[in-house]
Amino acid sequence: MKKITTTILLLAYFISFSQQKKIDQKVDILLKQMTLKEKIGQLNQYTGNNQATGPITINPNKEVEIKDGLIGSMLNVIGAKYTRQYQELAMQSRLKIPLLFGQDVIHGFKTTFPIPLAEAASWDMEAIGLSARIAATEASACGIHWTFAPMVDIARDPRWGRVMEGAGEDTFLGSKIAYARVKGFQAKLGDVNSVMACVKHFVGYGAVVGGRDYNSVDMSDRMLWETYLPPFKSALDAGAATFMNSFNDFNGVPATGNKYLQRELLKGKWNFQGFVVSDWGSIGEMVNHGFVKDNKEAALVAITAGSDMDMESNAYRFNLAQLVEEGKVDIVLIDDAVKRILRKKFELGLFDDPFKYSNLKREEKELNDLNYRKAAREVAAKCIVLLKNENNVLPLSKGIKKIAFIGPLVKEHKQNMGFWAVELPEINYDKQVVSQWEGLQNKVGKNTQLLYAKGCEVQGNDKSGFEEAVAVANQADVVILSIGERWNMTGEAKSRSNIHIPGVQEELVKAIQATGKPVVVLINGGRPLIFNDTADSVPAILYTWWLGSEAGNAIADVLFGDYNPSGKLPMTFPREEGQLPIYYNHFNTGRPAPNETATNYVSAYIDLKNSPKFPFGYGLSYTTFNYSDMKLSKNKMSNSDTIEVSFNLTNQGKVAGDEVVQLYLRDKVGTVVRPIKELKGFEKIKLNAGETKVVKFVIDNQMLSFYNEKLEFESESGDFDLMIGASSEDIRLKATFELIK
Ligand code: BGC
């Protein structure tokens, strides 16, 4: 068996090697025919007329320039009709080099899936891969070849609006998700329903100072290697075709002009063969950084650093030719960038058929496939996190006579799509997106009466709607309240210094609570929000993020127990902004706080508990799980060895459910200090009521290794704590083992 597998692998390697060689030959032949102007043309990317995602540089000449072969790629062109139109112009150019169409397909295309941070809360790699696959299938039918996703920036500060785009705070979970997303988008590049992934933002963007967007990043090499780089490497290992660099300066050097990061690390040490696109205008923005004096110097620095394609800076277009002529930029650099881009165009099959992906018939079919809606509903339900459920208020019984559904977000449609949703020009989103109100209506039978009151707006001080809301609540058997942020309060350029639930919404909750009715609160948001009063007083809370096209149905599925919630938080939820940044895998310090309230000369805030409001990995279910009988195959290992850990997981309740079991390790003594715990494994296990399964993990040397003082990735002899838990704080089983080298 092993022999056959090796032969198949060798064969596959040989085929792909010889295909690559053929493509390289074609690229070389084409390159020889290209003028310098045409070469530079391939390095330019412009936005089309849909939904601009940055400050537009108006280029009225786009169409003529495409015909002249001076544009290699476009973004924000949506629909097969429009991608075809632009491609037809490219086919009138001298060398007929097809355009590449890129788009931010971040969480779905026509069918909107949950925002990425919500998907991370599913801890379900199959669901995450499926969401990316469907997005790729829909987008590619409209002529999109390339998505600017996944965003794999580790984010530990929820003030940063872009936390909604990533997988949260943890490197291990983030790396698994990065892998799943790339595989989902790309499947098999060249197939008509695959798109190229673009891993972004290389690198450090998630660590902007103070969580303020576009801000500086200053971090140690060890932090870079240990925490921020692994998801990028994982995406590369999954075969990611392209990378995007980043707006921020990294230790004083803008990432876009950073030679170490792009040329030496990514293209050198990691041997990345694809191309790097700049972020929107990030080449030109190096002038604002004070790193270069003008756009010309920006072009010189960026191309030298390894930034291959210029998105919307106009820096390459106007300056590269002159820089080559002046001998400041070696043509070898230009040729390398052009080759990287052309190679992808060949791999996608665009030279054989430039209209391969822009297919009106396929577009019609793919954009109306109801199976995708079904998948979106299932994925959305998996993302919801049950934060609290006192007295088993949830799930609601289908026999309830009167339900009051109150809050400013209840009847919203588009809000549920969240930031970075694609908007197709011809779609009416009030019809496309299932509101929370409609979801509930779809769920309950004729015998249940639904009552509604808005109560208040998301923002502002107006409480004039409270009276009506309280009156409506008084008539009901149960009240569901839907509160939170507006969809566009997170996302790019949406950093907030105050991440409490805005306006008077929590006061509305209080007023409704005073009626004495059982209350369930749904919290909508793109980041961890702060809602201490609600968290402390309301019996049942579901964190529903932004769940996409099927939000309403998915929420109703969970409210009534047709889906038993299984989501777990991918980010720590703070008590107050003053704790930020906050993350579970911190160092111990020399004076760790012995308990939540200790303040006496220990590492703590004197005005706040020394713990988060909700920890990383946390989430409840309508059932409970028991962890027992942990066994280690041995308690000493060498670095060529492994230890098998097994334990029993039992569903103790009356309904089936999924539990995400989490394995954490702590290296007790290191030549550099180690975090108090680090996630090193997890598994999502489905169990019927009363069922027990044996869960197994294998500990190997890789899991014990870290970047030491010399930045070598190695393990060190000594004792390790092994913790198996239902969250980073809810540790159920513990053991110690020793590594002997
Ligand atoms: C964002 C990128 C995005 C690009 C294109 C930029 O502002 O930072 O993540 O891919 O715009 O829309």
495, 428 Cβ separation under 8 angstroms: no
Alpha carbon of 115 to ligand 1 centroid (Å): 16
CB of 205 shorter than 6 A to ligand 1: no
- Residues 278 and 292: their CA atoms lie apart, in Å, by 16
pLDDT confidence of residue 4: 64
SS3 5: helix
Atom of ligand 1 nearest to the CA of 76: 12
- Residues 153 and 385: their CA atoms lie apart, in Å, by 22
Atom of ligand 1 nearest to the CA of 247: 8
pLDDT confidence of residue 3: 66
pLDDT higher than threshold 70 for residue 699: yes
443, 557 Cβ separation under 8 angstroms: yes
pLDDT confidence of residue 48: 87
Q: Grade residue 12 by pLDDT with cuts at 50, 70 and 90.
A: low
Alpha carbon of 55 to ligand 1 centroid (Å): 11
CB of 200 shorter than 6 A to ligand 1: yes
pLDDT in tens, 714-737: 999 999 999 999 999 999 999 999
- Residues 733 and 502: their CA atoms lie apart, in Å, by 39
Q: Which residue has its alpha carbon closest to ligand 1 atom 8?
A: 279
> Which of 279, 422, 495 should be mutated for ligand 1, with most atoms under 8 A from CB?
279
pLDDT higher than threshold 80 for residue 6: no
pLDDT higher than threshold 60 for residue 317: yes
pLDDT in tens, 228-254: 999 999 999 999 999 999 999 999 999
Q: Grade residue 56 by pLDDT with cuts at 50, 70 and 90.
A: low
Quickly list H helices, 433-550.
436-443, 466-475, 505-513, 532-537
CB of 494 shorter than 6 A to ligand 1: no
pLDDT higher than threshold 60 for residue 139: yes
Neighbours of 89 (CB within 10 A): 17
pLDDT in tens, 167-213: 999 999 999 999 999 999 999 999 999 999 999 999 999 999 999 99
Alpha carbon of 139 to ligand 1 centroid (Å): 17
* Burial class (CB within 10 angstroms; exposed 0-12, middle 13-18, buried 19+) of 735: middle
pLDDT confidence of residue 401: 97
pLDDT confidence of residue 17: 74
Question: 480 pairs with which residues across the strands?
Answer: 405, 520
Buried b (16+ CB within 10 A) or exposed e, 520-552: bbbbbbbbbbbbeebbeebbbbbbbbbbbbbbb
> Which of 280, 309, 312, 423 should be mutated for ligand 1, with most atoms under 8 A from CB?
280
pLDDT in tens, 472-522: 999 999 999 999 999 999 999 999 999 999 999 999 999 999 999 999 999
Q: Grade residue 8 by pLDDT with cuts at 50, 70 and 90.
A: low
Q: Is the whole-model pTM more than 0.95? A: yes
Q: Which amino acid is at 105?
A: V
CB of 213 shorter than 6 A to ligand 1: no
pLDDT in tens, 82-91: 999 999 999 9
pLDDT confidence of residue 54: 76
CB of 279 shorter than 6 A to ligand 1: yes
- Residues 48 and 370: their CA atoms lie apart, in Å, by 29
Q: Which amino acid is at 323?
A: L
- Ranges 60-69, 225-234, 695-704: which has the least confidence: 60-69
- Residues 267 and 245: their CA atoms lie apart, in Å, by 13
Q: Please report, in angstroms and rounded to a whole number, the separation of the first and last CA atoms in the chain.
A: 33
The residues assigned a catalytic role are 279
3-state helix/strand/coil string of 605-646: CCCCCCCCCECCCCCECCCCEEEEEEEECCCEECCCCCEEEE
CB of 104 shorter than 6 A to ligand 1: yes
pLDDT higher than threshold 60 for residue 1: no
* Burial class (CB within 10 angstroms; exposed 0-12, middle 13-18, buried 19+) of 42: buried
pLDDT confidence of residue 9: 64
Share of the chain above pLDDT 90, in %: 94
* Burial class (CB within 10 angstroms; exposed 0-12, middle 13-18, buried 19+) of 260: middle
Alpha carbon of 281 to ligand 1 centroid (Å): 9
Share of the chain above pLDDT 70, in %: 97
Alpha carbon of 83 to ligand 1 centroid (Å): 20
pLDDT confidence of residue 13: 66
Cis peptide, bond prior to residue 201, ω within 30 of zero: yes
- Name the average pLDDT for the chain: 96
**CA 241 to chain centroid:** 18
